[in-house]
């Protein structure tokens, strides 16, 4: 996987450089299909999230997710579902099953957890492959972009005319 990370650097993906929603390039914008909202892993157990939330309320200087309040308010564990690696699977109270979308996306973007707007941009590029939801626009566009960049780099590297000036 380390090789993939290096490859992404060479192809100049924005992964690791996006820190606010405004920095997300339009070519990898979320398609708002809602597939990832129905069930997702957070990398934390429910008890850990509760502990983080208590710390946050007391102002304790421990390390916890920056968006722990939004996570605590919105995300709920689906008791009957467990990921293959044993992690809990969560869904979101805000998710609108009838429309299949996120009502906060347009109306209250500031209430969306960082885990939502940043998925999977500020995470490691590996997450793109680890959590590739079927039909995810981000995943599809990223693959397309990566292939285009590889072709461009290849053409530039082997362009017989480029070095003649």
65 binds ligand SF4 (CB under 6 A): no
Using CB under 6 A, pick the residue from 8, 18, 28, 36 that binds ligand SF4. Answer: 36
32 binds ligand SF4 (CB under 6 A): yes
Using CB under 6 A, pick the residue from 18, 74, 128, 146 that binds ligand SF4. Answer: 74
Beta bridge partners, 101, equal 96
DSSP string for 54-79 = HHHHHT------TTHHHHHHHEEEEE
Cβ-based neighbour number of residue 44 at 10 Å? 19
Cβ atoms of 64 and 52 closer than 8 Å: yes
Nearest approach in angstroms of CB 57 to ligand SF4 is 21
Nearest approach in angstroms of CB 69 to ligand SF4 is 13
Residue 126 DSSP class:
H
21 binds ligand SF4 (CB under 6 A): no
Residues that bind ligand SF4 (CB under 6 A): 30-37, 74, 92, 94-95, 102, 104, 112, 116, 119, 133, 136-138
């Amino acid at each position: 996987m380390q090789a993939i990370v290096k490859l992404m650097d060479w192809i100049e993906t924005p992964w690791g450089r996006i820190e606010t929603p405004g920095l997300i390039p339009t070519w990898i914008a979320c398609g708002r299909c809602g597939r990832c909202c129905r069930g997702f892993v957070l990398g934390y157990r429910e008890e850990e999230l509760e502990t983080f939330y208590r710390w946050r309320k007391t102002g304790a200087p421990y390390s916890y997710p920056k968006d722990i309040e939004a996570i605590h308010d919105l995300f709920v564990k689906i008791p009957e579902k467990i990921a293959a690696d044993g992690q809990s699977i969560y869904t979101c109270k805000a998710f609108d099953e009838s429309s299949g979308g996120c009502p906060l996306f347009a109306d209250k973007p500031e209430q969306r957890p960082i885990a939502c707007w940043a998925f999977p941009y500020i995470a490691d590029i590996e997450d793109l492959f680890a959590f590739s939801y079927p039909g995810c626009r981000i995943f599809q566009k990223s693959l397309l972009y990566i292939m285009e960049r590889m072709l461009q780099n290849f053409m530039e590297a082997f362009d017989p005319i480029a070095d003649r000036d």
